[in-house]
């Protein structure tokens, strides 16, 4: 039992096939806690080790878990073009401070089909000179796609960087109608 008298529940995980490749998803009883791109066995195993260390419990594979089922359903609908806004409980425990502040603003303030500049996002959280720090926050986003760091671009029109790779960022922006579909 935990300090609230509730039964301890280990974190759960699954790998889901998507249009941008396999995604590793992990959830705690508080919500979705981690999404990892290109979830090969090696990447999945590294993500599991990191989560076990950070959360203090070894995640258990359970794709049918109610904690993951809704996330899988919403991601499937998103990639099918049927969902624009994720309505999932999120566990923000893997990120703190400025990075958490920036990612929360991104999640609530940059809707589907739009983009924001790194500097503009810095200004929204009261740090107008912190464009590079916003880039660091995007790179440390534990919940990509759900917390849409793919929607953050360079001021001069450049696509910017992306932890999932630029091809993945382009595909996500094309899905949302921001960019044309890649030709190949």
Whether 38 and 67 have beta carbons less than 8 Å apart is answered as no
169 has a pLDDT exceeding 80: yes
162 has a pLDDT exceeding 80: yes
Q: pTM above the 0.75 mark? A: yes
63 has a pLDDT exceeding 50: yes
**The one catalytic residue among 149, 153, 173, 175:** 149
The 10s digit of each residue's pLDDT in 25-47 is 999 999 999 999 999 999 999 99
Helix or strand holding residue 32 (H, E): strand 31-36
Across the chain, mean pLDDT equals: 93
Per-residue burial over 132-170, b if 16 or more Cβ lie within 10 Å, else e, is: ebbbebbeebbbbbbbbbbbbbeeeeebbbbbbeeebbb
Tokens of 111: 């809707």
Helix or strand holding residue 183 (H, E): none
Confidence of residue 183 (pLDDT cuts 50, 70, 90): low
149 is catalytic: yes
Whether 153 and 170 have beta carbons less than 8 Å apart is answered as no
Ranges 92-106, 146-160, 170-184: which has the least confidence? 170-184
Q: Is 22 exposed, middle or buried (0-12, 13-18, 19+ CB in 10 A)?
A: middle
Q: Is the dihedral of CA 112, 15, 36, 41 positive or negative?
A: negative
The pLDDT value recorded for residue 114 is 95
154 has a pLDDT exceeding 80: yes
Tokens of 54: 């950070």
The 10s digit of each residue's pLDDT in 64-98 is 999 899 999 999 999 999 999 999 999 999 999 99
What's the rounded mean pLDDT across residues 115-143? Answer: 95
């Amino acid at each position: 039992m935990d300090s609230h008298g509730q039964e301890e529940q280990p974190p759960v995980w699954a790998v889901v096939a998507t249009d941008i490749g396999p995604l590793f998803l992990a959830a705690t009883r508080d919500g979705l806690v981690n999404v990892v791109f290109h979830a090969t066995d090696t990447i999945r195993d590294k993500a599991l080790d990191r989560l076990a260390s950070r959360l203090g419990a070894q995640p258990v594979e359970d794709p049918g878990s109610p904690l993951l089922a809704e996330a899988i359903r919403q991601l499937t609908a998103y990639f099918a073009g049927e969902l624009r806004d994720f309505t999932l409980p999120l566990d923000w425990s893997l990120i703190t401070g400025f990075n958490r502040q920036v990612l929360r603003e991104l999640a609530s303030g940059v809707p589907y089909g739009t983009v924001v500049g790194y500097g503009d996002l810095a200004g929204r959280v009261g740090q107008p000179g912190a464009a590079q720090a916003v880039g660091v926050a995007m790179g440390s986003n534990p919940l990509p796609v759900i917390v849409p760091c793919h929607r953050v671009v360079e001021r001069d029109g450049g696509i910017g960087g992306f932890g999932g790779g630029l091809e993945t960022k382009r595909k996500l922006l094309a899905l949302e109608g921001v960019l044309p579909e890649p030709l190949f």
